[in-house]
A and B are shown apart, each in its own frame.
Chain A
């Protein structure tokens, strides 16, 4: 069975239950977005699905096999992760950074082609030789997105590949927020699965096929954006009383319409 599946996953960290019986399925061809307030467990759920965190109970299946049973190298061929923050300890160039996603053993020419393709994909086609340390925060974020996309681009074997993004738009301007989400959408259209954590409910509603809302470690709602993103949910999640409207297509939220904050 293909898909990235969390099945009643609980994670306890330092004695605290940060994820409580959460179940999520990311199907190939689909963009799944996790939303929820700070500390809701979004990143932990993403980590569990990425194989970083071993669930205290429940299990994570990647196309039917336990994610923990994969060797790191095999896992890296099936999923790639863009973390919230990306620091480089040494002054790699943009091109070298993108290449970090590629496994050893790829022919040099092919590697160059993959790197060039994915740098172009994020709009850094002509920045390959620049040191990452000289980039703006947003450019750096995109360089790492190129790295993650290059990882999924290498050694195609026909099996679906999963793109996992933890707040990929945090440092980006509007143009690049949209561009990043477009990259994710194109990956889904090409047959891959996407799981993204987004803070911005509007962006989430725009980008997602499925929205999963978390609060205090538990999933409180899941489904298509216009079924999930409601006044009630916004109140539940963020304790903000605001109107969700459906113009132009699909729901959107006007923060200006907030009536009060508690």
Chain B
């Protein structure tokens, strides 16, 4: 597949996923009805005073499905883009943002909030009352990564191997803290934490998107400037320096950018696995490892895959919602294994 047709296919899939996400749900509002409601809103010049027959569906579309679709696309894109950057940075096809401590730090902060945060919730401004846990998760994820980068840096150089090992140690420490809190948690707290770790796009609002967007966008805007550096790092850090890459700056930008984007993604939708690992691989299979095309195409594919997973998550068990992490893993993993067995030679160098 050429780069052009590969990227086009990913974009086509994303368009399909967006339409599916807007028109499939427990409430039957198909594409036709979608168009009717949209036209009614346009004809009415807004949602105020909309004819009664459209009110419910307009609410579902504008207040529930649209923000959910946007959040899903953003989270999927951020996860996949972060995965692609991490795999390039660590020169390891298995790398995912978890390696730099974001997920474990966010999980620890999330469970801390659930178990211990009851007393401090009232300190937040009214508008953020429900968002204490996401905010804690964001701060925890980002702080863990920055701490890790600090540990692994000396004389302005960041040792990737040290970072990996320190990440394992810090992850174990976070897991210990998480385990301790899980141990002292009540069943309702435990349930809240467990469902959070499995991920959900439920509760998406434009406000939540506005909070998360800047951090995801930052990585998206940095990506074009990272592409050539990541290509060169495939040769190793020294060779990358030889071809003119400021490797230390590349590492700093990549690590901080990924941490911010993933912390925002995890905070808004929980720790959704697999998209960040699988999307870059699928793209690499289709159009090769060059990051200039790989990064944007991974983001597009990640967005599409997460949206399609969410459509399944919200329809398979209605009115209950399947955790989206269950869907991404249950459908994604077997497909990925199949690919791995068929074409292993092309997936790892």
Are A and B close enough to touch in the complex, i.e. CB under 8 Å?
A: yes
Asked whether B243 is an interface residue with its Cβ less than 8 Å from the other chain, the reply is: yes
CA distance A131 to B234 in the complex (A): 14
Complex CA gap A73/B243 in Å reads: 7
Complex CA gap A88/B228 in Å reads 14
Task: Give the residue name and chain of the B residue nearest to A96 (CB).
Answer: B290
A–B pairs, 22, beta carbons within 8 Å: A51-B241, A71-B246, A72-B241, A74-B244, A76-B244, A83-B236, A83-B239, A83-B242, A88-B234, A89-B88, A89-B234, A89-B349, A90-B88, A90-B349, A91-B345, A91-B348, A92-B288, A92-B290, A93-B288, A96-B231, A100-B234, A151-B244
Q: Is residue B332 contacting chain A, with contact meaning CB distance below 8 A?
A: no
- In the complex, the answer to whether B246 meets A73 with C-beta atoms within 8 Å is yes
The answer to whether B346 and A88 touch across the interface, beta carbons within 8 angstroms, is no
B288 touches A81 (CB 8 A): no
Contacting B346 at CB < 8 Å: which of A50, A76, A91? A91
Q: Which B residues are in CB contact (< 8 Å) with A81?
A: 239, 242
A10 CB → nearest B CB, Å: 19
Distance between Cα atoms of A86 and B284 in the complex (Å) = 21
Interface flags for A185-218 (1: CB within 8 Å of B; 0: not) read 0000000000000000000000000000000000
Name the distance in Å between A1's Cβ and chain B's nearest Cβ: 24
Please tell me if the beta carbons of B246 and A90 are within 8 angstroms of each other in the complex: no
Given known pairs A87-B236, A90-B289, the reply for A50 and B242 (CB within 8 Å) is yes
What is the distance, in angstroms, from B246's C-beta to the closest C-beta of chain A? Answer: 5
User: In the complex the two chains form, is A76's CB within 8 Å of B243's CB?
Assistant: yes
Tally of chain B residues near chain A (CB < 8 A): 29
Q: Are B234 and A72 in contact (CB under 8 A)?
A: no
Taking residues whose C-beta sits less than 8 angstroms from the other chain, chain A's interface range is 20 to 34
Given that A89-B91, A92-B288 are contacting pairs, would A100 and B231 also be in contact in the complex, using a CB cutoff of 8 Å?
Answer: yes
Q: Which of A89, A100, A133 has the most CB of B within 10 A?
A: A89
The residue of chain A having its C-beta at the shortest distance from the C-beta of B234 within the complex is A89
B238 at the interface (CB under 8 A from A): yes
In the assembled complex, A160 has its CB within 8 A of some CB on chain B: no
Task: For the complex formed, measure the closest distance between the CB of A94 and the CB atoms of chain B, giving whole angstroms.
Answer: 12
Determine whether the beta carbon of B245 is less than 8 Å from that of A131. Answer: no
Q: How far is the CB of B161 from chain A (nearest CB, A)?
A: 14
Residue B211 interfacial (CB < 8 Å): no
B93 contacts A by Cβ under 8 Å: yes
B15 contacts A by Cβ under 8 Å: no
Q: Which B residues are CB-close (under 8 A) to A103?
A: 228, 243-244
B77 interface residue, CB < 8 Å from A? no
Number of A-B contacts (CB under 8 A): 86
Known: A83-B242, A89-B93, A151-B243. 6 other contacts (CB 8 A): A52-B238, A77-B244, A88-B349, A92-B288, A96-B288, A100-B232
Task: Give the chain B neighbours of A52 by CB distance below 8 A.
Answer: 238, 241-242
Q: Are B244 and A90 in contact (CB under 8 A)?
A: no
Check: A224 CB closer than 8 A to any chain B CB.
no
**Contact A72/B346 with A91-B289, A92-B234, A92-B289 known, Cβ cut-off 8 Å:** no
Whether A28 is near chain B, meaning CB under 8 Å from some CB there, is no
How far is A112 from B348 in the complex, measured between Cα atoms in Å? 26
Identify the closest chain A residue to B246 (Cβ).
A72
Given contacts A96-B290, A133-B349, contact A88 B244 (CB under 8 A): no
Smallest beta-carbon distance B67→chain A, Å: 36
B173: interface (CB < 8 Å): no
Tell which of B231, B233, B247, B346 touches A131, judged by Cβ atoms closer than 8 Å: B346
Check B239 against A86 for contact (C-beta < 8 Å): yes
CB-nearest residue of chain A to B227: A104
Give Cα A71–Cα B345 distance, bound, in whole angstroms: 37
